[in-house]
């Protein structure tokens, strides 16, 4: 069975410090991996995706993620967090040809001034 795991319910970081949100996956075949962000009372917004090729993927709002096949991980990173980055972050993955996604449980990021 395919699954995506986000081991941390919440990540707390001070503004200006590096931010990392962890994601591991368990899928057969070559995975397509995504990060989405959800601000309060809003739908999900796409941040970035890994399809193939370069393991370091750059996305919106200064975020990047590194695909690590040996560790089956796809951690989201930002060098310097902003208070406005406080939100709920979801990792998702698929090998399904229709693109049906398996989502992680979500990680709440809290950035304090």
Partner 1 sequence: DVKVTQSSRYLVKRTGEKVFLECVQDMDHENMFWYRQDPGLGLRLIYFSYDVKMKEKGDIPEGYSVSREKKERFSLILESASTNQTSMYLCASSPPRTPAYEQYFGPGTRLTVT
51 binds partner 1 (CB under 8 A): yes
Residues that contact partner 1, how many (by CB under 8 A): 27
Q: Rounded to whole angstroms, how far apart are CA atoms 61 and 6? A: 21
Q: Rounded to whole angstroms, how far apart are CA atoms 99 and 32? A: 9
Which residue of 19, 85, 90, 111 would you call a contact of partner 1, by CB under 8 A? 90
70 binds partner 1 (CB under 8 A): no
Helix, strand, coil percentages in the chain from 3-state DSSP, rounded to 5: 5, 50, 45
Of 13-21, 44-52, 61-69, 78-86, the segment contacting partner 1 by CB under 8 A is 44-52
Residue number, 46 or 68, with CB nearest to partner 1: 46
Which residue of 78, 104, 109, 111 would you call a contact of partner 1, by CB under 8 A? 104
Contacts 24+ apart (CB under 8 A), 59-68: 59/35, 61/85, 63/35, 65/33, 65/35, 67/33
Of 17-25, 36-44, 61-69, 72-80, the segment contacting partner 1 by CB under 8 A is 36-44
43 binds partner 1 (CB under 8 A): yes
């Amino acid at each position: 069975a395919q699954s995506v795991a986000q081991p941390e319910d919440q990540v707390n970081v001070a503004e200006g410090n590096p931010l990392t949100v962890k994601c591991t996956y368990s899928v057969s075949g070559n995975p397509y991996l995504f990060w989405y962000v959800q601000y309060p009372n809003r739908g999900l917004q796409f941040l970035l995706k890994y399809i193939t090729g370069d393991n370091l993927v750059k996305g919106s709002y200064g975020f990047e993620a590194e695909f690590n096949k040996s560790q089956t991980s796809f951690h989201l990173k930002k060098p310097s967090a902003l208070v406005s980055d406080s939100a709920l972050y979801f990792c998702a993955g698929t090998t399904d040809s229709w693109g049906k996604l398996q989502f992680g449980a979500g990680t709440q990021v809290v950035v304090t001034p």
